[in-house]
Amino acid sequence: MIDPALNESNKFGRPTLAAPARRAGHRAACRGQAAARQENRTLENPEALDALELGARRIDFVGLKFQAAGESAALYAQTQSLAPDPSRSIEVEQLLEMIGSRNGRLQDIRDCYTRLRGLYQQAWLRDNRPYWLENNLAHFDAAAQLWIGRCDRWQSQVIEPWWNTRTLPTAAGAGLPELGK
C-alpha cells in the first residue's frame, strides 16, 4: 500500500495530485450509480454493478489519497505563511480545520476506508462464505485505525498547540509531506 502521508509517491515517479471539488465529483458518481441501478433492474446479473462500484471506488480512493495529501500539504504551507500575522489567526484556524477537523482531508481518508470495508464485506458475502472474511476486513480496520490515529495526532500536535501558543510545527512535524519534495 502506498501511503501519501509518507510521500511515497515520488519513489515511483508519480506526482501527487492536486485537484479541486472532490466531494462534488464523488456525489455525482453516487448519483450516477443510483441511476444506473434504476435503469438496469432487468439485468441478468445485477450484482455485477455492485462489484463494479467496489472496484471503481477502490481505484478512485487511490487518487483521493494522493489528492488529499497534496491539498493538505498546500493548505499547511499556506497556513504557515499566514501564522506569523496575528490578524490572520482566524484564517489559520480555518485552514487547519480543512486539513484535519470534522470534515477535513484526514477524515475523508478515514471515512473512505470504512466505506470500502462495508462494500467489500457486501461483495464478499454475496459470492463467498464468511470464512476468512474477518481476516480480509482486518486490513480495512487497521488502515482506518491508522487514520484515526493521524486525526487524533493532528488535533493534539497541531490544532491544540496553535490555540494555546499560536505556533505551528514544521510540515514534517505535523505528519505532512513537505510541499514540493
pLDDT at 9 over 60: no
For the segment 68-82, the average pLDDT, to the nearest whole number, is 94
Task: Please check whether residue 103 lies inside any domain of the structure.
Answer: yes
Task: Please check whether residue 85 lies inside any domain of the structure.
Answer: yes
Task: Please check whether residue 38 lies inside any domain of the structure.
Answer: no
For residue 118, the enclosing domain spans: 45-165
Task: Please check whether residue 105 lies inside any domain of the structure.
Answer: yes
Q: Provide the pLDDT confidence category of residue 19 given band limits of 50, 70 and 90.
A: very low
Tally of domains in the chain = 1
**3-class SS letters over the chain:** CCCHHHCHHHHHCCCCCCCCCHHHHHHHHHHHHHHHHHHCCCCCCCHHHHHHHHHHHHHHHHHHHHHHHHHHHHHHHHHHHHCCCHHHHHHHHHHHHHHHCCCCHHHHHHHHHHHHHHHHHHHHHHHCCCCCHHHHHHHHHHHHHHHHHHHHHHHHHHHHHHHHHCCCCCCCCCCCCCCCC
| Least confident range of 42-46, 66-70, 157-161 | 42-46
Task: Please check whether residue 64 lies inside any domain of the structure.
Answer: yes
Task: Please check whether residue 119 lies inside any domain of the structure.
Answer: yes
Task: Please check whether residue 17 lies inside any domain of the structure.
Answer: no
Task: Please check whether residue 143 lies inside any domain of the structure.
Answer: yes
pLDDT at 179 over 70: yes
Summarize pLDDT for 147-163 with one digit per residue, the tens: 999 999 999 999 999 99
